[in-house]
Structure 1
Amino acid sequence: MKRILPITLVLFLVYSTAFSQTAPPSDIGTILQNLKKLNVLGSVLYIAAHPDDENTRLLGYLAQEKHYRTGYLSLTRGDGGQNLIGTEQGELLGLIRTQELLAARRTDGAEQFFSRANDFGFSKNPEETLKFWDKDKVLGDMVWVIRRFRPDVMICRFPTTGEGGHGNHTASAILAQEAFTAAADPKRYPEQLKYTTVWQAKRLLWNTFSFGSVNTTSPDQFKINVGGYNPILGKSYGEIAAESRSNHKSQGFGSARQRGDAFEYFKTILGDAPKTDLMDGVDVTWNRTPFGAPIAQKITAITKAFNTEAPQASIPALVALLGDVDQTVATNKAFMTVRLTERANTDYDYWHKQKTKELKDLIASCAGLWFEAYADQPTYAVGDKLPITAQLLTPYKLPISSLTIDPGQEVSSVRDNKNGAVLEPNKLVSINLPSIELHNISQPYWLEAPHGIGSYTLAYDTQAGRPENTNVPTAMFEFVIDGKKLIYSRKVMYKYVDPARGEIYQPLEITPPVTANIAEKVYAFNNTQPQTVQIKLKSFNNASGSISLKPLAGWKISPAKIDYADKKKGDEWTVAFTVSPTDSKTNTAILQAEVTANGKTFSQGLLDIRYNHVPAITIFPPAQAKLVNIDLKTAGKKIGYIAGAGDLIPESLREVGYDVYQLTESEIINGDLSAYDAIVTGVRAYNVNERLAYEQPKLMEYVKNGGNLVVQYNNNNGLVTKNIGPYPFTVVNQRVTEEDANVTFTDAANPVLNYPNKITAADFNDWIQERGLYFADNIDSQYSTPLQMNDTGMAPNKGSLIVTNLGKGRFVYTSLAFFRQLPAGVPGAYRLFVNLLSKPKN
């Protein structure tokens, strides 16, 4: 006889502080895995510095084989790295890598956390890292995550002794050791204890490694075999790891699936050393909680009786089990308060919350319940009313005895609807919910306020750890099954069908009423001639008002403002202002646009990031641009550009008057390259453009005939040809990471330092993030090396810029980080790069 499950459905529309998502997987494999997880009460937290630092095979093994609650705390979002799929840098790259990490966690089954630390670029030592990071704040974030996540075991990817190479790596290990102890100390970060409790993990381990020539493993270390096969998932953990890691597409980390034994090695840093198992000394069964043994027995019985062909048959037992868990809490609360230690009390509360959530999800999966909530448009403005449609489906007959729709605090009244609606088997039910008023733009919380180089500014310290915003429109679904109330949450999403990709879910965009996008990030002037600053405006509701540019000393702006009226949602229009320096003195300023809309002032642009492998990303950066008045002379006009991994150099050159053309293979092989005053290869071009190996002879011929070839930095791994230049040199992983490192001129008479601009030490002021990366080494004597630089305590390095003549032309290889400096409007970098493009006439 088919069991009828009476259900009461209640939907609350709130800005939920709990994480919510669209419908999770409910296939039999997932159900079986989650049944196993119900009987495991253990947790592991992995800690490192960046996206891609995590050991995805170990995470998959811990989460899917051992069924521990497993988390990865990446201190940064990878903002300072290079981007192999586009031109995004800095915080924009961090947004992409955040989503790549979340995709990786959906693959390997772990959870994702972050601190407020900003990846400011490569660092050679932890002292430099901790100088830029706000150590106390970042450490507090780690303590907060530990106290909330309550790991039994903590694992570092890197040691404190520097074998990890990157200063961020070493700093992550140093901070992890301090956090291990601080999380258990009520005197450390006591303000957190209003929301959580202290926590002491059992042990802190270092997951030793063998990377290239660095092998930190040894036979006497504790080890576990993580290369097993999961028959429920139909994959080995090496395969799961490869799928997880391959989500890091912006870093080019597509990985081959591995199968067979694979051992991970560990050294004990703090706490008791494991002897036979990672969790030695930790009870990961229900016995770790008061009165948990009967619950474990019932879970075992439910698992044994589970029918893969009729998962719904397990619902009554799962609902009863959930009642038993709740009843145990109610019955023994007084006993726990009086008789048990605070740790045992809070430990039970913690695992009750975790297992309650897991049980609820299992019940929904076994019931075949599918429910989500949608908006009918992708974009709404602050102040708009958001209409929401909820949809529900079940393969079984589940009558609804009553239906209540409560928009919570967003409206003043509660609307009841008691129509006795019924969820018929396989009949989709759609319910229109009351509209709610929107109050906050959907800006990532870590980008809401200006931030420094080393860390983001958080409005509240309790935001730390979260991978994404939590104050988003959320639907709360309340079911009553067998008399038990079950509440679930789902983000309100926008859903559409793409002809090529199929059904796509997209986060809601909640915007300012009107956005203002200044056409360029940087306006570079080399005289007092005015430039036109175009601003693209877009209205997201009905609006009237004006736009203006804030006055700036040393700059003339005209007109003072431009009015607009009666704009409708979706209207776009462009306005133009004239801006010019008032004199020829070097001057740098931030230009800011201000828009009034219906009596309120806004100063935000609109920026979309779209890649198929991550959800749509929309942010609202300040409506700003940089004005730079540079004492700049130029020679030549026409530049050929060969694209690399992605940079903004062509746009930057156009700003100072160059005509830049993207060269195709056909144009390089068959065209007349003598028409170009210089040809430039983009960053990592010799890593990502395999055709350059075949085009190289043509480029060398161009140089011999009088051309000027400028090659920007390449990674030393994966070069399509080792013969980048006309004479030998080697690209090596050497860099100068201190952006203010002293620069010495070793060949002051070299034309690249004198024509058409006289380069002085002042031209190396105000550089950002780094001087350069992947320097040249083993440099043939035919090359001149006009610059020398080094980080503090390091040997001088001449490999940042090498120059040689070949025939009638010139070849330049530079590892200087022009791809960062020019888009940032650094005057001296412009002057030097223009010199590299300008070969003196013979």
Structure 2
Amino acid sequence: MRKGKLAKLYTLTTAAALVGSMIMPLAPQTAHADRGVVDLWKAIKPLTTIASAMNTGAHPDDEHSAVLAYLSLGKGVDTSSIIANRGEGGQNEIGSELGNALGIIRTRELQEASKITNIHLENLSEKIDDPIFDFGFSKSPDETLEKWGEDVAYERLIRKIRTLRPDVVIPAFLNEPSTHGHHRAINVITVRAYKDAADPTVFPEQLKEGLTPWQVKKLYLPATQKDYNVSVPVGAYDEVYGASYVQLGEESRFMHKSQGMGRVYDEGPSSNYYKLDQSVVKAKDKETDFFDGIAYTFTDLAKEVAGQSGGAKIASDLQKLQKDGEEVIAAYPHFEAVAKEVHEMITDVAKATADVQASGLSSESKTDLLHRLNVKQAQLNKASAESLSLVTKVKPETGELVAGQTTKVTVSAYNGGQVKLGKVNLALNVPKGWKATPQGTTSFNQLGYNETVKTTYEVSVPADADLFQPYAAPALTADVSYSFSGATATSHAVPSDAVAVLPAFALSLSPSATVLNTRKPQDPIPVKVTVKNYNPGEAKANISLDVPAGWSVEPKATPLDFAAKGETKSVAFTVKAASSVKPDSYKVTAVATGGGKESRHGAQVIRYPHIGTTYFVQPAELAIQAFDLKVPEGLKVGYVSSGFDNIDQYLQQLGVQVTNLTAKDIESGDLSQYDTIVLGIRAYGFRPELIPSNARLLKYVENGGNLVVQYHKPEDKWKPELAPYPIKIGEPLIQWRVTDENSKVTMLAPDHPLFTTPNKITEQDWNNWIQDRSAYNPAQWGKEYTELISNGDAGEKEFTGTFLSAKYGKGTYTYSSLVWYREIPALVPGAIRLFVNMVSLHQ
């Protein structure tokens, strides 16, 4: 089966989604006629090898996708990807979610990408607000490991290596100064783990839990064509998949949509290069592949054990498995023939496992063999389901549950193959403390072609059930066991979307963050609480606000009646601060009480076509930052959003009249009505009307307008001549940013209106910033600009082009690489005061 064009890879993408590592639920997929043949090959290819490899990285998208596709899809190697954090500190190219919400999106994208390359994915970060957090760009592996907690990160990596027992490990990056500190940190601990994972004195508590030390055979580092040991032919074209491994890898990278990843590659030869860094086996200068000198087949494994005491019988078993694997491949693409060979291999794996357990081999050999046989058993289960065209599903009545609820979940098995299956058993798995009671039979004597069997379970969620955690394993799964050709196999199924325990009453506050101006401490703060009923039916609740001591709220509480699940209602409150309120941070929490339940959380629904539906459950809070702020009356701002920030919303809260400008407004509208026009971050790259209309924007400035342009990357179609006087952005981008949010800032023009009007900016206004100072700073700029600040990371030359402003005609043009889009939603007082000054020029 050939498919010569990359566009046809969508068939493969869909197929891959059904057979990969299933940590999170899948979005519904479209069926394709040739999916079964491709999926069958993917399922049986791993039966030909017992080798394994691991790729380590820091963030979602760090994986070496083409090499992973080559190893897993091309060679059938048991391949894993270990990623440290969830990408919470990055930017978002598909929406406005940032922080933990973005981390959830990037995790789901990574999971979907991993299904396409058919690899096993794990993260070192285990939960929301985990210590191993993407805190933003770092230039230092030491800073990274300090913030993550070096022992925490290292213990988890050692645990992954001892659990998955890879023969080959490949960190995605080198420890080089030009590389992100997170990438460098993963390199540092991966290289160190090569020896330490085999040392029983390193994290001995893991051994008490049942893990055993594991010596990785080889450690490879990324290299160049000039100096390498292994060349990986990722440009090789695979006839079954109808694509090269580069193209297959890029199909997975297209899933990282929040990062704008994925490229279209033409067919043709290409290679990735790696240097052997450490090895316990003798290696040549130029190796044929990663596994030179390492047992790759069952025959290789048989040779290793044959000479050991009690090893002859085991060697014979392994040789039989080698023959089995070859016969499975030889039977392809005939489904029934493949199924018979797969089930014969299942029988032989069970025999080999029992023989190993009863043998006189050393405990070390037994552990290794049993691990590899367990991996093979899991692969055979997938191969069985594919070859028999068995479709198993678990369908909850609803994916949105509350503690104490009873619901129904159906487990089904459909036989699309031409042979009958026997002894079909449908089992639903639920978390500890939950109850699952079948409402009918769970066992069926046989299942014929085009027939379905199903069982509905009554599932009770305990009253103390934990709220949904997006990084936890699925709450509900099913195992369908069946027999064919004298052997039993099991198919594992998960729901097609997240099954989540949500607050009985999910609360959201608008605004979710706001400023309290201490110049007007008694100005009321209007708060709208929106409540969604997740109870299964009618419900009543009293809605109130918990406010700081000495503050007042009206009304005290409001009752709400809900007629059905999913109904949403809103309540308005007015909050007033204590008359003696001081500059500080405060919180207001929404509370819903009803039906014996109290809810203090909201449930943010995160839904995109490529990742399906999931949720972010978090406290229902309004963050309030009190500080002194002057805002000119009647200030009118036109905001050109790129979709990557929500600064416009915060300006409105401050009393600024903000209009979000449409393409028509920019192309032909009256721009002179605005005191200031602000371009959101990277706007030129995502608002196509801007470049053709740039002359209008500059004319607006020339006629007396105030134009504020936030940072851009060169790939955002930025050109120096877009500014009235040229501004060239520094490259490589990694070297033109300030990552220390506490770095010293020197105001080079302290008397400039940006630092005096209407708010007097002092050194204290640069305190308490978050994550970064600036990104993608200019390297060159016209002499007409006033350099407003000097700032840099410790030990580096300071940037003076971070904050530039110039008169142009009667107006002012300001270009700023300060990361306003992070600071203002975090309610950083100095950043807000500065931004107000920036949009208030000429007032």
> Residue 702 of structure 2 corresponds to which residue in structure 1?
704
CA distance in 1, matches of 2:478, 2:428: 10
> Residue 354 of structure 2 corresponds to which residue in structure 1?
330
SS of equivalent to 1:835: helix
What does 1:220-259 align with in structure 2 at a 5 Å threshold?
Answer: 221-259=229-267
Q: CA deviation at 1:282?
A: 1.0
Task: Flag the 1:37–1:549 CA change in 2: closer, same or farther, 3 A.
Answer: same
Name stretches of at least 5 consecutive residues in structure 1 with no aligned partner: 1-16, 210-216, 446-467, 494-504
Does residue 537 of structure 1 match 2:531?
yes
Kindly indicate whether structure 1 or structure 2 has the higher relative contact order, using CA contacts under 8 Å at least 6 residues apart: 1
Task: Flag the 1:752–1:318 CA change in 2: closer, same or farther, 3 A.
Answer: same
Q: CA deviation at 1:146?
A: 0.8
> Residue 61 of structure 2 corresponds to which residue in structure 1?
52
Of the candidates 589, 596, 614, which is equivalent to residue 617 of structure 1?
614
CA distance in 2, matches of 1:667, 1:399: 65
> Residue 576 of structure 1 corresponds to which residue in structure 2?
572
> Residue 265 of structure 1 corresponds to which residue in structure 2?
273
Q: CA deviation at 1:433?
A: 2.7
| Aligned CA-pair RMSD | 2.5
TM-score, normalising length from structure 1? 0.88
Name stretches of at least 5 consecutive residues in structure 2 with no aligned partner: 1-20, 126-131, 303-313
Task: Flag the 1:587–1:402 CA change in 2: closer, same or farther, 3 A.
Answer: closer
CA distance in 2, matches of 1:554, 1:73: 50
SS of equivalent to 2:781: coil
CA distance in 1, matches of 2:680, 2:24: 41
Does residue 112 of structure 1 match 2:143?
no
- Deviates further, 82-91 or 285-294: 285-294
CA distance in 2, matches of 1:390, 1:404: 6
Q: CA deviation at 1:385?
A: 1.2
The one-character-per-residue Cα deviations of 1:242-295 (angstroms, maximum 9, x if unpaired) are 212222211112301242221222222222474223112210111426431111
The one-character-per-residue Cα deviations of 1:195-252 (angstroms, maximum 9, x if unpaired) are 422111012111125xxxxxxx524544232221111111111211221222221111
> Residue 432 of structure 1 corresponds to which residue in structure 2?
456
Task: Flag the 1:18–1:745 CA change in 2: closer, same or farther, 3 A.
Answer: closer
Q: CA deviation at 1:565?
A: 5.1
> Residue 393 of structure 2 corresponds to which residue in structure 1?
372
Residues 45 and 73 of structure 2 are in contact (CA less than 8 Å); yes or no, is this contact kept in structure 1?
Answer: no
Task: Flag the 1:618–1:406 CA change in 2: closer, same or farther, 3 A.
Answer: closer
Residues 242 and 258 of structure 1 are in contact (CA less than 8 Å); yes or no, is this contact kept in structure 2?
Answer: no
Of the candidates 193, 197, 215, which is equivalent to residue 200 of structure 1?
215
> Residue 761 of structure 2 corresponds to which residue in structure 1?
759
Residues 436 and 460 of structure 2 are in contact (CA less than 8 Å); yes or no, is this contact kept in structure 1?
Answer: no
Residues 581 and 629 of structure 1 are in contact (CA less than 8 Å); yes or no, is this contact kept in structure 2?
Answer: no
SS of equivalent to 1:621: strand
Q: CA deviation at 1:727?
A: 0.8
CA distance in 2, matches of 1:803, 1:489: 61
Does residue 343 of structure 1 match 2:368?
no
SS of equivalent to 1:27: helix
Q: CA deviation at 1:720?
A: 4.3
CA distance in 2, matches of 1:386, 1:816: 51
Task: Flag the 1:94–1:674 CA change in 2: closer, same or farther, 3 A.
Answer: same
SS of equivalent to 2:602: coil
- Number of equivalenced pairs: 778
Task: Flag the 1:154–1:412 CA change in 2: closer, same or farther, 3 A.
Answer: closer
Does residue 181 of structure 1 match 2:195?
yes
> Residue 513 of structure 2 corresponds to which residue in structure 1?
522
Of the candidates 787, 790, 797, which is equivalent to residue 788 of structure 1?
790
CA distance in 2, matches of 1:687, 1:172: 32
- Deviates further, 285-294 or 472-481: 285-294
Task: Flag the 1:56–1:696 CA change in 2: closer, same or farther, 3 A.
Answer: same
What does 1:200-219 align with in structure 2 at a 5 Å threshold?
Answer: 200-208=215-223, 217-219=225-227
- Deviates further, 426-435 or 653-662: 426-435
Task: Flag the 1:548–1:47 CA change in 2: closer, same or farther, 3 A.
Answer: same
- Deviates further, 314-323 or 364-373: 314-323
Q: CA deviation at 1:147?
A: 0.9
Task: Flag the 1:513–1:195 CA change in 2: closer, same or farther, 3 A.
Answer: farther
SS of equivalent to 2:715: coil
Does residue 384 of structure 1 match 2:405?
yes
Does residue 487 of structure 1 match 2:506?
no
What amino acid maps onto 1:514 in structure 2? Answer: F
The one-character-per-residue Cα deviations of 1:82-114 (angstroms, maximum 9, x if unpaired) are 111211111111111111112221222222221
Q: CA deviation at 1:428?
A: 3.9
SS of equivalent to 2:822: helix
CA distance in 1, matches of 2:249, 2:769: 38
Residues 20 and 490 of structure 1 are in contact (CA less than 8 Å); yes or no, is this contact kept in structure 2?
Answer: no
Residues 79 and 119 of structure 1 are in contact (CA less than 8 Å); yes or no, is this contact kept in structure 2?
Answer: yes
Residues 405 and 417 of structure 1 are in contact (CA less than 8 Å); yes or no, is this contact kept in structure 2?
Answer: no
CA distance in 1, matches of 2:262, 2:326: 39
Of the candidates 471, 478, 503, which is equivalent to residue 481 of structure 2?
478
What does 1:115-194 align with in structure 2 at a 5 Å threshold?
Answer: 115-116=124-125, 117-163=132-178, 165-193=179-207, 194=209
Q: CA deviation at 1:796?
A: 1.8
SS of equivalent to 2:189: helix
Of the candidates 807, 813, 816, which is equivalent to residue 814 of structure 1?
816
Of the candidates 681, 684, 702, which is equivalent to residue 683 of structure 1?
681
CA distance in 1, matches of 2:320, 2:197: 32
> Residue 651 of structure 1 corresponds to which residue in structure 2?
649
CA distance in 2, matches of 1:323, 1:201: 30
> Residue 797 of structure 1 corresponds to which residue in structure 2?
799
CA distance in 2, matches of 1:417, 1:183: 47
CA distance in 2, matches of 1:175, 1:403: 45
What does 1:584-733 align with in structure 2 at a 5 Å threshold?
Answer: 585-635=582-632, 636-732=634-730, 733=733
Q: CA deviation at 1:604?
A: 0.8
Q: CA deviation at 1:131?
A: 2.3
Q: Percent identity?
A: 30
Q: CA deviation at 1:57?
A: 1.0
What does 1:393-408 align with in structure 2 at a 5 Å threshold?
Answer: 393-395=414-416, 396=418, 398=420
> Residue 292 of structure 2 corresponds to which residue in structure 1?
280
CA distance in 2, matches of 1:226, 1:570: 49
The one-character-per-residue Cα deviations of 1:747-778 (angstroms, maximum 9, x if unpaired) are 11000000000001111111110111111221
Task: Flag the 1:402–1:582 CA change in 2: closer, same or farther, 3 A.
Answer: closer
> Residue 461 of structure 1 corresponds to which residue in structure 2?
none
- Deviates further, 404-413 or 519-528: 404-413
CA distance in 2, matches of 1:420, 1:360: 19
> Residue 7 of structure 1 corresponds to which residue in structure 2?
none
SS of equivalent to 1:506: coil
TM-score, normalising length from structure 2? 0.88
CA distance in 2, matches of 1:665, 1:405: 55
Residues 229 and 236 of structure 1 are in contact (CA less than 8 Å); yes or no, is this contact kept in structure 2?
Answer: yes
> Residue 299 of structure 1 corresponds to which residue in structure 2?
325
> Residue 18 of structure 2 corresponds to which residue in structure 1?
none
SS of equivalent to 1:610: strand
Task: Flag the 1:28–1:702 CA change in 2: closer, same or farther, 3 A.
Answer: same
CA distance in 2, matches of 1:299, 1:58: 24
What amino acid maps onto 1:283 in structure 2? Answer: A
CA distance in 1, matches of 2:614, 2:437: 34
Q: CA deviation at 1:422?
A: 5.1
Task: Flag the 1:418–1:708 CA change in 2: closer, same or farther, 3 A.
Answer: closer
Residues 404 and 415 of structure 1 are in contact (CA less than 8 Å); yes or no, is this contact kept in structure 2?
Answer: no
Task: Flag the 1:560–1:647 CA change in 2: closer, same or farther, 3 A.
Answer: same
Does residue 512 of structure 1 match 2:503?
yes
> Residue 776 of structure 1 corresponds to which residue in structure 2?
778
- Deviates further, 121-130 or 295-304: 295-304
Does residue 320 of structure 1 match 2:320?
no
Q: CA deviation at 1:802?
A: 0.4
SS of equivalent to 2:720: coil
